[in-house]
Every structure is written in C-alpha cells, then in structure tokens.
Amino acid sequence: MNSRRSWLIFAVGVFAYLIAVMQRSSLGVAGVEATDRFAVSAAELSSLAVLQLVVYAALQIPTGVMLDRVGPRVLLLAGAALMVAGQLMLALSPAFAVAVVGRMMLGAGDAMTFISVMRLLASWFNGRTLPQVTQWLGTLGQLGQVLSAIPLSFILSEWGWSPAYLSAAALSLFTGVLIAVFISDGAAEGFGQSVSWRAAMKQLRESLRRHGTQLGFWAHFTTQSSGAMFSLLWGFPFLSVALGYGPVLAAGLLTIMVGAGFVTGPIMGVLSARYPMRRSNIVLGAVVSMGIAWAVVLLWPGTPPLWLIVVLIAVLGMGGPGSLIGFDFARTFNPMRSLGSANGVVNVGGFTATFLMMLLIGLLLDVMDRASGGSGLPEELYSLDHFRVAFSVQFIVIGAGTVMLLRSRKRTRDSLHESEGIEVAPFWVALGRLWRRKS
C-alpha cells in the first residue's frame, strides 16, 4: 500500500483513463464535421453520442460485477481493445450506421476503464492518500479533453476525418501494451477465486440497498452531467457557431475546463479527506455554482461577452472533481469485496443525466429549427437563440437530481445515527459552532 509500485500502477492507470477520456470526447470537436460528413440532423448527431453513453451507462453495473469477479487488469485490456476497434470503424465508416456501431463499441470499452482504475487505486492505496489520488485520477484524466480539443482537432482540420480517428485508435493500442506490461491487480484482495456469480449478484443487491451508494449515484448525477454534455458534444457547436468564435478558439476554450479541474480537484480531495461528513456540501456547492453560471449566460441580453463564457467553462470544470466524491461515498459505505459493483452503480448516475440532456438538447434544436423554417444548415440549426432554450433543459434534469440527492443524504445520515450513533448537524449549525470556537 502507498509503495513505489503503487505509484507506477497509478501512472499507468491515469494514462489509460486519460486516453479513454480522449476517445470519449473525440466526437465533441468533430460535431460540425460529422453533421456535414454524414448529412445528419442535430437529433441524429446527438444519437451518435447518446448511444455511446447509453452503452457506457448500461454496462457499468455488469462491468462492476465482473470487476469484483475477475479483477481490473482483464477489463482494462478488454476496454483498450474495444476502443481500438470502435475508432477504426469510425475512421473508415462509409455510412452513419457504421459510425454508430463504432461509437457503441467505444462506449463499451470506455465503460470498462474508469471503474477498473478506481478499483486498482483501492487495492494499492489506503488512508488519506486514497481520496486524494482519486481526485488526481479524475483531474489528470481530463487532459484527454485537451488531446481531443487541440492535437486531434488539428489533425482533423489539416488531414481529415480518417487520419484523425486512426491516430486515436493507435493511442488505445499503445495503452493496451502498457496495461499488459505494467498493471497487476494488487495483493489487497484476490479476484475470481472465491466469488461465484451468485455471490457477485448478492453483493450487487446489497450495494444497491445501501443509502451511501444511492447518495453517490445522485452526487455523480448532479455534478458530472453538465460539463460532460458541454465537452462531449454541444459545447463545440455552441462556441464555434452560435457565438461565432470559430473552431480554433472554441477548441482552446474547452481546455479551460481541464485547467479548472486541476485547480479544484486537489482542493476537493483535501476537503473530502479532512471533512468526510461534509462531502455532500461540497457537491451541493458545485451544483449551485454551475446553476448560477448557466442562468447568467442564458439570460444575458444579446451575445454573452467572452469573459462570461470563460467563467462558465471554468465553473463547469468543477463538475468532474465534484462527481468523484460520489465514488468516495461508495468506498465509505461498501466493503472492498463489492466496491466494483458499488462504483458501477455510482458511475451510471452522471452518464444517465448526460445522455438524457444530450438527447433532449438535440431534439429541441431540431424542433426550433423546423419551427423557424430553417434548412438544417449548422449556421441556422446552431443559433444562439436556439441554444438558449435547449440548454435550459439542464435545470429540469439536474433539479430533479438535486432533490433526490437531498433525500438520499437524509437517509444516509439517519442510517449513520441508528447504526453508529453519529449525528451530522446541518451545515449552518456546524459553521456557527466553528465560529464560536474561534471567537
């Protein structure tokens, strides 16, 4: 635990997740090109990303069960192979239907990566180091967005569609080699030796019943989805077409989200480790901040200024680190033997909200384009007025998730009080006590 070998495992795991994030977000910088290449509408384009995320979310719980049974190394290798195959299909796809199959394969490979690396960290780290390396995993992994926003975008604009996605496939192939050479599951607990399918399903049911797992699900649901929707699909058309920034500036602006994660991720990791009973307040703070930023941008009269867009993207960067707190809830309230299943449940949350918002935004953009007599061209389809209405759907989805988060938090705190006698005072009461002590 916390050894030199642990840090080598951490480095390779971070690289594997970073490349998975790049593959996941590689369509985000190609949204306009995909619209032209396949001659599709906004709803059809959103389905290309949504089906990928549907596969990702649908496989989280089965992957979690498999993870508890066979270990992370096998799943990481399988995930890398699927992402290679998916990007090859997308690079060479002659038709939209083939591209859809490729993205679904990519979603399947992506589904096996993150929770496998999370399980690795739980086997190789412990104590206060664990929540901090978890945050560093999420923070460093988001550099994958930079790879898709800058190098991949450059290859796409200079050499075209096929070379861009063939180069992406090559990176996943290289990742598979690194995993095969350097990754081992860890000695903290054996895999696949004594866990039968019946026992694995029993562990899954137990994880689903735990209020802490449910709290992690809704924490991930509310924090991860807005930034993921923006970076994976609709942020690039919004910035490049609706606001008129063009592809170069739009791609550069998307990297701000990663920089914001670098700042807020370690801070949230330290706060989560020092104040474990206040982790839900950190999550709610991130959700409220993103809601305020979106409200100001969408209600701004006329075109929002560049500085405000920069602030919005920076605030969205808090969502990734905030969502990792959901996995910290899963780790706290579940035994190690069922942690893979619990992490799978949590990871379903954010991606369920993400693909729901992606699909609704695409449908609304198409409806408004047809209602205004538009031709479906990007300049008309992706207008600022259309995006103002379409992006507003986030308040409904995340608002519902926040209500469920508060309910799950109450149940979790009640369970803590009944089982361990721990009573968590409301946040403002705790602040008052701290103020009186310092006074």
Q: Would you write out the chain's pLDDT as a tens digit for each of its 439 residues?
A: 667 888 999 999 999 999 999 888 887 667 667 777 777 776 777 777 778 878 888 888 888 888 877 888 999 999 999 999 999 988 888 788 888 888 899 999 998 998 899 888 888 887 778 878 888 888 888 788 778 777 887 888 788 878 888 999 999 999 999 999 998 876 544 444 445 667 767 777 888 888 889 999 999 999 999 998 998 788 988 999 999 998 889 888 988 988 888 888 888 888 887 888 888 999 999 999 999 999 999 999 999 999 999 999 999 999 988 998 998 888 888 877 777 778 888 988 988 899 899 889 989 998 998 888 766 677 788 899 999 999 999 999 999 999 999 999 999 888 877 777 666 656 656 566 667 776 6
Q: Which two tokens stand for residue 391?
A: 């992006």
Q: What does the buried/exposed string (b/e) look like for 165-203 if buried means 16 or more CB atoms within 10 Å of the residue's CB?
A: bbbbbebbeebbebbeeebebbeebebeeebeeeebeeb
- CB neighbour list of residue 328: distance below 8 Å, 6 or more residues apart: 131, 134, 216, 272, 276, 279
Give the H/E segment covering residue 45. Answer: helix 42-70
| Structural domains of the chain sorted by starting position, each given as residue range(s) with its CATH number in brackets | 4-185+203-422 (1.20.1250.20)
Between helices 306-316 and 246-274, what is the axis angle to 10°?
40
Residue 314: phi, psi to the nearest 5? -65, -40
| Cut 0.85: pTM above it | no
- Please report the sign of the dihedral spanned by the C-alpha atoms of residue 135, residue 138, residue 139, residue 141: positive
- d(C-alpha 234, C-alpha 361), whole Å: 8
Q: Which two tokens stand for residue 173?
A: 């192939």
Contact of 394 with 290, CB cutoff 8 Å: no
Q: How far is CA 269 from CA 36, 38, 66, 228, 413, in A?
A: 42, 43, 28, 20, 21
Q: What does the buried/exposed string (b/e) look like for 219-234 if buried means 16 or more CB atoms within 10 Å of the residue's CB?
A: bbbbbbbbbbbbbbbb
